[in-house]
Structure 1
């Protein structure tokens, strides 16, 4: 009898449970916390301190502020010296400190970013570990076009293009086009690659693949092509495999104006007398980089009371160049330099009234005006490599031609 009663009660309980409604019960989903990862660490696992190096701050000062003892700092400095010289931390550069989440909040990792892409990790454990890494970079391929109304720089700026890209395009055509003679209505097209940190933060131009500058109703193509796979050297060539580069740069720097040209008779602004000026003066702000206009060997790097700081480069048995009035020289005698390499900086040393570089040019041992003689061109692609080049640029030319041209 007791057994029957027990089964009866269980049946009633089952029926009541079955008939109960759960409409009023609210079920909440528990959201997983978002994971933040940077520099190869899960930041959620730490107390994170982000800051920048202040003027006058040292590595020891920063470590002391975050509870690292002088003895520990000494051990760290001596351990990591082959990877990073902590005495050279630069003011304004960012750093990150990862601290334990317990009550001690102990500094466990120090991360320093000398550039936007590079970073150095120092693990502040008993066995100190340090290494250099780079942030993940994404390269995005893009195209652009624009029309010139006043200048190439302004036209590119109007299209929202960076100054870095303006510089790249200017570099491609610096030997073949006089940018001061661009006309209203000239237009450009460009295929280029940009780098981004973590797919979002702009990190500069990776490369310019192809360009087309229509100037004075003439098309100037430029295709970047690797001519030497061993050295990794690449250059720009046109649709006929001719190089866009001259043997010499048009000028040794990015200048604001030519303040004095080559002449047999000029009134010297310092010596106050008429004399020959056997050079071309390019006015530019103090500290502007000065470049070697062609490959060569530094013949002299010295100072005289008239020339100030100067550098003379021998390019071959026919040509030499000289660069006067530098604020600082960046090369030494006997050093081999490449075209476009920085050899010094604009100043006003010697007999100079303002910041500029006096550019002098020798042809067979005689000083001449480089604008008055025909300068040699760089060599085109060798005949045996032309078929490969034309195959390489075929699709690029079709692509750049198909970019819509903009007009006024």
Structure 2
């Protein structure tokens, strides 16, 4: 009996020792398992890492000198890498990283400057001085969304927790076919689009919209992204019948705000206090809002008068001319060629104006007319030899759109 008890004691002691040994080994493994940190194409564990941002008054030489790089070495680096990296263009607020050797002097090896959230420049400041540009790993993720208009597009996007950039992109797609000043409660939309993510987790903006349908006044407007020129990769939007959404003219000369006064043969002038014709369309918008040329053309006037304030006039062809009044600032000169969507000035209240807006005037063969009553020309359609490929391409996108349920108020 005593011998059995002794053997049992030895067994328990051995088991306890073994468990303690296993626990020690497990803890040792936890300590040894240091995570490998990789960024900018480097294993950061191999360096002493310094992170900072460019401050007012900072310059490349001063930054590197403060981290132990000699003046001669700074000069050598600047001369060697000036074709790729210009130290004079460091912008306040931009992040940078310095990777230092793990030696006794913590010698700087690399200076990494973040040009934007995705692009960065690596400058080797060690023995083999060089510089190159690179990008952080970017993942493209497919998204779908549905929304219904209660008051305006921007508010709807915000209510859905979506980026304001998405509302701008959607309005840009439909700017030729939908008047966003006339959206009605109950209008609705669906989209299939792609977003960019840095390192698979950090949101970095919208890649592109693949397809959309916007139901306005109970009429569906389809839009599909398609490239008719594989060499340039330039893509435009077309409807379900391969017709272009783009038109010769934009619906409006600025991003959607509100129409404060329409073209009229008899309107009470708020400044002159008299009834007279108003041969333009007034778009109320915040001071400084960019004003676009509604079509390609040549600037034939850019000046100031007591009534018009700062104004710009653009001749588009022998038939059409447009004019933009009451700008806070003009952005083009006489004789300058402009393209549709180019910023030609900014909203203000110069001249005879009671508040910030742009008065948009429209001529057809030298006669001022209401642009909303004109049958304006469209852009070129898809070539016949591309239509079979177009319909095959948009088939799956349209199916994806149809599978998204519309939201209701």
Q: Give the TM-score range, shorter chain.
A: 0.7 to 0.9
Task: Report the alpha carbon displacement of residue 252 of structure 1 after superposing the two structures with TM.
Answer: 0.9
Aligned residues of 1:67 and 1:107 also touching (Cα < 8 A): yes
The corresponding residue for 1:303 is 303
Q: Structure 1 stretch 276-285 or stretch 110-119: which is displaced more?
A: 276-285
The corresponding residue for 1:5 is none
List aligned pairs for 1:22-33, cutoff 5 A: 24-25=17-18, 26-27=21-22, 28-29=25-26, 30=29, 31-33=32-34
Consecutive unaligned residues in structure 1, runs of 5 or more:
1-19
The corresponding residue for 2:8 is none
The corresponding residue for 1:254 is 255
Aligned residues of 2:258 and 2:285 also touching (Cα < 8 A): yes
List aligned pairs for 1:80-95, cutoff 5 A: 80-95=81-96
List aligned pairs for 1:99-138, cutoff 5 A: 99-138=100-139
List aligned pairs for 1:192-271, cutoff 5 A: 192-263=193-264
Task: Report the alpha carbon displacement of residue 43 of structure 1 after superposing the two structures with TM.
Answer: 1.0
- Counterparts of 1:101 and 1:350 in 2: how far apart (Å)? 66
Aligned residues of 2:181 and 2:258 also touching (Cα < 8 A): no
What is the TM-score when the length of structure 1 is the normalising length? 0.85
Q: Say if 2:372 is the partner of 1:375.
A: no
In structure 1, the residue corresponding to 2:372 is in which secondary structure?
coil
Task: Report the alpha carbon displacement of residue 276 of structure 1 after superposing the two structures with TM.
Answer: 5.1
Task: Report the alpha carbon displacement of residue 212 of structure 1 after superposing the two structures with TM.
Answer: 1.5
- Counterparts of 1:279 and 1:376 in 2: how far apart (Å)? 20
In structure 2, the residue corresponding to 1:345 is in which secondary structure?
strand
Q: Deviations over 1:204-236 (max 9, x none)?
A: 111111112223332221111112223333221
CA distance 1:349–1:218, change in 2 (3 Å): closer
The corresponding residue for 1:98 is 99
Residues matched between the structures, number: 388
Task: Report the alpha carbon displacement of residue 70 of structure 1 after superposing the two structures with TM.
Answer: 3.5
List aligned pairs for 1:52-63, cutoff 5 A: 52-63=53-64
- Counterparts of 1:218 and 1:372 in 2: how far apart (Å)? 20
In structure 2, the residue corresponding to 1:131 is in which secondary structure?
strand
Aligned residues of 1:326 and 1:349 also touching (Cα < 8 A): yes
What is the TM-score when the length of structure 2 is the normalising length? 0.85
Q: Structure 1 stretch 194-203 or stretch 384-393: which is displaced more?
A: 384-393
- Counterparts of 1:261 and 1:246 in 2: how far apart (Å)? 22
Task: Report the alpha carbon displacement of residue 383 of structure 1 after superposing the two structures with TM.
Answer: 3.2
CA distance 1:310–1:75, change in 2 (3 Å): farther
- Counterparts of 1:45 and 1:95 in 2: how far apart (Å)? 18
Q: Structure 1 stretch 208-217 or stretch 268-277: which is displaced more?
A: 268-277
Task: Report the alpha carbon displacement of residue 376 of structure 1 after superposing the two structures with TM.
Answer: 2.2
The corresponding residue for 1:4 is none
In structure 2, the residue corresponding to 1:24 is in which secondary structure?
helix
Aligned residues of 1:287 and 1:345 also touching (Cα < 8 A): yes
The corresponding residue for 1:12 is none
The corresponding residue for 1:406 is 407
In structure 2, the residue corresponding to 1:195 is in which secondary structure?
strand
- Counterparts of 2:205 and 2:319 in 1: how far apart (Å)? 39
CA distance 1:224–1:45, change in 2 (3 Å): same
Q: Say if 2:157 is the partner of 1:156.
A: yes
The corresponding residue for 1:145 is 146
Q: Structure 1 stretch 100-109 or stretch 195-204: which is displaced more?
A: 100-109
Task: Report the alpha carbon displacement of residue 263 of structure 1 after superposing the two structures with TM.
Answer: 4.2
List aligned pairs for 1:171-210, cutoff 5 A: 171-210=172-211
CA distance 1:205–1:383, change in 2 (3 Å): same
Q: Structure 1 stretch 36-45 or stretch 323-332: which is displaced more?
A: 323-332
The corresponding residue for 2:344 is 343
- Counterparts of 1:80 and 1:352 in 2: how far apart (Å)? 53
Q: Structure 1 stretch 247-256 or stretch 277-286: which is displaced more?
A: 277-286
- Counterparts of 1:179 and 1:368 in 2: how far apart (Å)? 21
The corresponding residue for 1:289 is 290
In structure 1, the residue corresponding to 2:105 is in which secondary structure?
coil
The corresponding residue for 2:394 is 393
CA distance 1:96–1:211, change in 2 (3 Å): same
Q: Structure 1 stretch 136-145 or stretch 181-190: which is displaced more?
A: 181-190
Q: Deviations over 1:191-212 (max 9, x none)?
A: 1111111111111111111112
Q: Deviations over 1:338-365 (max 9, x none)?
A: 3223233333455555433232222112
